Amino acid sequence: MITIDAQKCVRDGFCVQACPANLIRMDGGSVPEEIDGAADRCIRCGHCVAVCPTNALDNALTPAGDYFPTPEKRPDAEAMENLLVSRRSARSFRKKPVSREQLERLLETARRSPTASNSQKLSWTMIQDAQRLDRVRELSLEWMGGDPARSHYVESARQGRDVILRNATALAVVHGPADYAWTAIDGTIALTYMELLAATMGLGTCWAGLVTAASKAVPDLLPVLGVPEGSQVGGAIMLGHPRLKHLLIPPRNAARVTWL
């Protein structure tokens, strides 16, 4: 699985330190080598290749030729903090649709989010079809109709407000195997990646929590969301061009911290 160019290798041991499954060993000043059975236990994270400063290592499961350099242009702490604290949920969208190019860019970044043991078991549905979005609204509202705690949503819907998708023109749904324990967590991380990138692109987002909850109680909603049999919804967010611009950052409760 792992091959080393002995002429390039400087024996720094970085690949040994980086492997999360301890599949590489290096005895004394020797060239690193994989342990027995490494190919069956490798999680394909690619760290062994990515940390080698001399490009001496290759992994057949994640070939070095498929990598690209880490960008040097990245936001500093202040820029990142400004993005995080200024991000707001959009609950009013314009009718202008999000372009296919923008949606593909969001998906390209979201697919690189971390997953448990690099399992990469998530799949996506990107819904733009107006009739399908209407069906999502309809089934989600039917589910809420039986819950007195959500009666205010149903009443708002009767008054003509879109309480389910807020008139968003796109809905991103992430899903994974029903027997996979980390679908919700992996999905939340992936959607967060998408949400933050969308903010830099001038797009608005809002977590579609009602749709996610309804998908667990209404089997008929799953095929509408493009979720195949044997899979579960890990989360969903609305996407669109926001109608409103937030000029201030609202207050939030102070962090409740226990220092140990």
pLDDT of 121-156, one tens digit each? 999 999 999 999 999 999 999 998 878 888 888 889
Percentage of residues in the chain having pLDDT higher than 90 = 93
Percentage of residues in the chain having pLDDT higher than 70 = 100
What DSSP assignment string belongs to 9-72? -----HHHHH-TT--EE--TTSPPEEPTTHHHH-----HHHHT-TT--EEETTB-GGG--PPPS
Give 224-254 pLDDT, tens digit per residue: 999 999 999 999 999 999 999 999 999 999 9
Going from the C-alpha of 156 to that of each of 144, 164, 225, the distances in angstroms are 12, 10, 23
Q: What is the DSSP letter of 193?
A: H
Q: CA-CA distance, 88 to 205, in Å (whole number)? A: 8
Q: CA-CA distance, 52 to 54, in Å (whole number)? A: 6
Average pLDDT over residues 171-176: 98
**Domains and their CATH numbers in the chain:** 2-66 (3.30.70.20), 87-240 (3.40.109.10)
- pTM for the model stands at 0.92
Provide the pLDDT for residue 145. Answer: 85
Q: Is 252 helix (H, G, I), strand (E, B) or coil?
A: coil
* pLDDT over 90 at 99, yes or no: yes
Neighbours of 139 (CB within 10 A): 21
